[in-house]
Amino acid sequence: MLCLKCKTNSKWIENAKQNLIDVIIDHAHCEKKAAVTGMNLINNYPEKTDLAFEMADLIEEEIDHFRSVVKILDEKGETLREDKKDEYAQKLFGRLRKTQPERFLDHLLVAGIVEARSCERLQILADNLEDQKLKLFYTELAKSEAGHYMAFIKLAKKYFDEAEVKLRLDELTDIEAEIVKNLTNLPMMHG
């Protein structure tokens, strides 16, 4: 879906279903980290007003998602636990080029790709879980993350030439697909 070049391995959902609380805890941390990504972009590029407005909206939505996920945990008698290392995101953010303005473009595109992968995984959860409340919740969230993917691509096209955006998105989605193929299907959002 969206820009992604490989599908999630079917073993991931099997593991996720068997360790659902671990996935929900990790998901809460992912929502928190998505808000942090928005903050980092504002911090790094404070003079870009369109970016500031778009990230302000995104941060609000991600914090809202975070609150909803923590509420689900609380209703299940669970709490957040430590934020485990997200190797997928670390590897992908590790591919940002060092020089500007290339780094800014990569930051927007990688943030967008992570949203796209999160959207795919949320939809897989929605399609495979039996709990109706969770199914509905993940369906709604998948739509929201798809919107965030679009927002990042739109921003990239606002600040960069469309052909350059397309070319780099193509390169970064190749890299992302390689990372995903080597994941070990841990019960995490990007496991």
Kindly list the residues in this chain that would bind Fe ion in the complex (CB under 5 A).
Answer: 31, 34, 62, 65, 115, 145, 148
Minimum gap (Å) between residue 62 Cβ and Fe ion: 5
The residue (of 62 and 106) whose beta carbon lies closer to Fe ion is: 62
Minimum gap (Å) between residue 18 Cβ and Fe ion: 24
Residue 96 and residue 110 in contact, taking contact as beta carbons nearer than 8 Å: yes
The residue (of 151 and 165) whose beta carbon lies closer to Fe ion is: 151
Minimum gap (Å) between residue 33 Cβ and Fe ion: 10
Q: What is the DSSP code string of 38-86? A: HHHHHHH-TT-HHHHHHHHHHHHHHHHHHHHHHHHHHHTT---------
**H or E element at residue 28:** helix 20-44
The residue (of 40 and 164) whose beta carbon lies closer to Fe ion is: 40
Instruction: Provide the residue type at 86 as one letter.
Output: D
Minimum gap (Å) between residue 58 Cβ and Fe ion: 7
Tell the residue number behind the tokens 């739509």, with chain if given: 143
The residue (of 102 and 135) whose beta carbon lies closer to Fe ion is: 135
